[in-house]
Amino acid sequence: MRALTYHGANDVRVDTVPDPIIKDPDDIILRVTATAICGSDLHLYRGKIPETESGDIFGHEFMGIVEDIGTDVTNLQVGDRVVIPFVIACGSCFFCQHDLFAACETTNTGRGSIINKKGIPPGAALFGYSHLYGGIPGGQADYVRVPKANVGPFKVPTALADDKVLFLSDILPTAWQAVINAEIGQGSSVAIYGAGPVGLLSAACARMLGAQTIFMVDDNDYRLAYARDA
């Protein structure tokens, strides 16, 4: 298959690599129909994330069609169309049972964030985000292995095009969490720093929750102009 791979700082290439295969009984193999480049991918691209190895496949925002399923997969069938959250969670550890999936204690065999120097267990594994976060091949590829497939993937209706649902993989929930954390409600005034995709989606979420005045802050005029018109 073809996949976007890392070869060192500022050097990524679309290479031919082996197709992924089922490794654990609760894996699926997904044929990727849409994937996005995240702002976070720029840290990887620029070589700023330790334990990113040559040949690593990037990509944590993707969706597609289930191509193959492991023997323990109960929620999905071949042919289902699903969006994959970027966090890989087991669904059964202490944090998963409290719906704190990003803090899953069991999926990441790496060390987690580089600021973690106190032996605190790392958060969940992430797709395509260095060996600090589990070394799981990402979805900027024709195919991807999705571990813990009874937990993360969710089916989406065929009536909605890929570009209407793809952002559920990361940036829309990120934006939603931001406005929830900020306690935006009817009549709120809100300032959003950064008019990129997450900022724009935050504005949309804030507006939906009844924000009255939204200030977009950015030093790129074209992004402010887009935000104004959107």
If the CB atoms of residues 96 and 201 are measured against Zn ion, the closer one turns out to be 96
Q: How many CB atoms lie within 10 A of CB 81?
A: 18
Question: Residue 116: which residues within 8 A CB-CB, separation 6 or more?
Answer: 122
If the CB atoms of residues 93 and 166 are measured against Zn ion, the closer one turns out to be 93
Cα gap 89→95, rounded to integer Å: 9
The binding site for Zn ion (CB under 5 A) comprises: 38, 40, 89-90, 93, 96, 104, 106, 170
| Closest distance of CB 111 from Zn ion, Å | 17
If the CB atoms of residues 57 and 90 are measured against Zn ion, the closer one turns out to be 90
If the CB atoms of residues 94 and 215 are measured against Zn ion, the closer one turns out to be 94
| Closest distance of CB 60 from Zn ion, Å | 5
Cα gap 193→216, rounded to integer Å: 6
Paired with 189 in beta bridges are 213
If the CB atoms of residues 93 and 141 are measured against Zn ion, the closer one turns out to be 93
For residue 12, what are its two tokens?
């990524």
| Closest distance of CB 189 from Zn ion, Å | 28
Q: Which residue is nearest to Zn ion (CB)?
A: 38
Q: What is the dihedral of CA 200, 202, 204, 208, to 10 degrees?
A: -170
| Closest distance of CB 91 from Zn ion, Å | 6
| Closest distance of CB 183 from Zn ion, Å | 24
Q: Whose CA is closest to 150, among 95, 94, 101, 109?
A: 101
Q: What is the dihedral of CA 59, 62, 66, 68, to 10 degrees?
A: 0
